Structure 1
Amino acid sequence: MRDSPEDAARLRVIEKLKARGYPFPPPSRAEILTLDKTGKWPPPGVKR
């Protein structure tokens, strides 16, 4: 629900992930698994 505490928390998490270098919207689960198998996940430049 918009403007709920849960929505505010969701938006904070998204902003933190984007600040660390993760794409948003994220790739599909299948794409992430493929990227992981080829050593391309997490994305280059992601701050851990």
Structure 2
Amino acid sequence: MTSSPAASSKPLYRERLAPGVGTWLLVLVTGGASYLVGRRSVSLWA
């Protein structure tokens, strides 16, 4: 009886956590790419 609530709550937790992780990864990747491009352009201009 106690294993069914935990099993049902785990997928819900994962579904709720996955979108946030995906958004953070997207933000980090885009931010890192723009930062690298900015540094590269600055170094090229310098």
Question: Taking structure 2 as the reference length, what is the TM-score of the superposition?
Answer: 0.39
Question: Taking structure 1 as the reference length, what is the TM-score of the superposition?
Answer: 0.38
In terms of fraction of residues, the more helix-rich structure is 2
Structure of larger gyration radius: 2
Larger RCO (CA under 8 A, 6+ residues apart): 1
